Structure 1
């Protein structure tokens, strides 16, 4: 019996052979090199079309002397923000012909930030993207010196590294301004852990919105991002002390609504609740949750753009942010008292 060989994706060398040019010429055509004869360029492009050649990361790596791989260090990956960010970055990188090598670290993991950086560098990456939402993690990162272009996913500008983020402070401000616009004057804040940059920025936005409106600012309650904490807070919240609560994430908002409901407190009849993140299930909460939506797809595309610019030699430290959007649903209404 004869051996039947399966189809194999054509390589840059197969295209070169078909076009009767060197593989370096094919590479130059793929990279838009100007010093290529029009007739040669047309022959290579025709060969690419005839062979249904798809430019792979390996071919680009041969042409550019790059690994075409970005190392992503993810702190606290089980949380919605970091998890969504790395998935968005992976999608954007794939579309641009880059691969992602990701390493996760957390409080429950023996692998720490510095170990994660070493692991990624040894894999041969062109740049690092660090999703380090906690101040303690960033402090450890600064002790590392890799020589690689590095981008932080962080809402505050950084003097040493490129940064990209969704504007957390602006998101908190539009959430609180919405409550003020519908008539609320006593607005509490259920904050996230204040070691987290996002939690700090959201608390700052809440505080600034109240200050701009000349309203009293109570001490925020500091939670841990979990629905369980929100539930416990809902069990003890003095509903006479506030007509609305801005929760720093949707999970705590969900627990808060549950805890209040178990006490017979109506949302939004007795108190309004706003969350942050717009979880996929937020529209199905009871009541559907008013919240702040983060565009993670846009964040992934922005982060990749900045990373590629850094790889290609951009030396000026850049800081760019994506604007969030308020999603108004049924958990907010004018106060009854």
Structure 2
């Protein structure tokens, strides 16, 4: 009689970080911090996590990769938005530069701006053994949270204040705003409004500062900037409200989407751009040249931003050259700006 084959034993599931956290009685984030050797962890908590890892024979993914390569060759990007053109273009530029240098890129988006959400997003990146971090989240609370984490890896921040010295690079947003404002003044406009971006965005604040500085230096009358939200919808709403007053001949919008909404509102109001009102935007999104009329705007060189970002990171990773500082923007003159009509 043929012997019955023995049943094949089911392969047991490999232990996970959550299993370690459960056994040690700590959070998933605490386990991640121990694995990444981050500071500010009580010694007894750290030992409890290490003991649980040993008991479960848990090996982090990054350790498994290190057995083969000793390197993850992965760069992390922390971002607050993938939908706005500026952050999306920055991410693409960094991915292109990283791929050319033989690095992979992983991205974590912040869901909300609370400190706990920011820490969770960074922990997700650390779980993937990133060798460097790029921060494209231009809200002050993000940088405040980062400053308190004491991360032990190369970090490059894309911001406009220059407060991080050799770890920070950006397009000079203040200069870009001054170029836009100066262009309108040189055309002969005296009454110029600024449709700004949202509060707490470093780029919005920098562009507002550039506008106000240029208006002051040129001794132009200035009204308080209008705080927007980057969307064409808000640009349209603001335009309809501003047309009730008509005490201006030009508007500098802090991004191209809001400029598009303004142009729509002006047309709906029975007026024309630039015959009645000149408009200047910021970013030079791919569609800007195809607005009607084509939009005068400030162009940012995102490809160069990505190249410098990787060069700055690799300066810490592989002793390469460094490219900190600001990239100079350029004004692209098109059909949405002209000299004001004589009244």
The 3-state SS of whatever aligns with 2:313 is: helix
2: CA distance between counterparts of 1:271 and 1:83?
Answer: 30
Structure 2: runs of 5 or more not aligned: 1-65
Q: Could you tell me how far 1:66 is from its partner in structure 2?
A: 2.7
Residue among 253, 257, 274 paired with 1:268: 274
The yes-or-no answer on 1:302 pairing with 2:308 is: yes
C-alpha contact 2:73 2:103 (8 A) present in aligned 1: yes
2: CA distance between counterparts of 1:65 and 1:151?
Answer: 23
User: 1:100 aligns to what?
Assistant: 105
Residue among 73, 76, 84 paired with 2:78: 73
C-alpha contact 1:246 1:275 (8 A) present in aligned 2: yes
The two structures, once aligned, show a CA RMSD in angstroms of: 2.4
2: CA distance between counterparts of 1:87 and 1:335?
Answer: 39
1: CA distance between counterparts of 2:205 and 2:216?
Answer: 16
Identify which range, 236-245 or 123-132, moves more after superposition: 236-245
The 3-state SS of whatever aligns with 1:190 is: strand
Q: CA 1:279–1:109 in structure 2 vs 1: closer, same or farther (change >3 Å)?
A: farther
The 3-state SS of whatever aligns with 1:333 is: coil
Residue among 321, 325, 331 paired with 2:330: 325
The yes-or-no answer on 1:131 pairing with 2:113 is: no
**Deviation by residue 1:81-111 (Cα, 9 ceiling, x = unmatched):** 1111011000000011111111112439998
Count, aligned residues: 277
Structure 1: runs of 5 or more not aligned: 1-60
**Deviation by residue 1:193-212 (Cα, 9 ceiling, x = unmatched):** 12100000100111111111
1: CA distance between counterparts of 2:147 and 2:190?
Answer: 42
User: 1:112 aligns to what?
Assistant: 117
1: CA distance between counterparts of 2:165 and 2:340?
Answer: 46
User: 1:244 aligns to what?
Assistant: 250
Structure 1 runs (4+) greater than 6 angstroms displaced = 61-64, 108-111
**Deviation by residue 1:282-328 (Cα, 9 ceiling, x = unmatched):** 111111100011110000001110011122368xx974111111111
2: CA distance between counterparts of 1:129 and 1:116?
Answer: 13
The yes-or-no answer on 1:186 pairing with 2:186 is: no
TM-score (norm 2): 0.76
After TM superposition, the structure 1 = structure 2 runs for residues 78-93 of structure 1, keeping only pairs within 5 Å, are 78-93=83-98
Q: CA 1:119–1:165 in structure 2 vs 1: closer, same or farther (change >3 Å)?
A: same
User: 1:221 aligns to what?
Assistant: 226
**Deviation by residue 1:54-84 (Cα, 9 ceiling, x = unmatched):** xxxxxxx899843211111111221111111
User: 2:285 aligns to what?
Assistant: 279
Residue among 147, 150, 155 paired with 2:160: 155
TM-score (norm 1): 0.77
Q: Could you tell me how far 1:160 is from its partner in structure 2?
A: 7.1
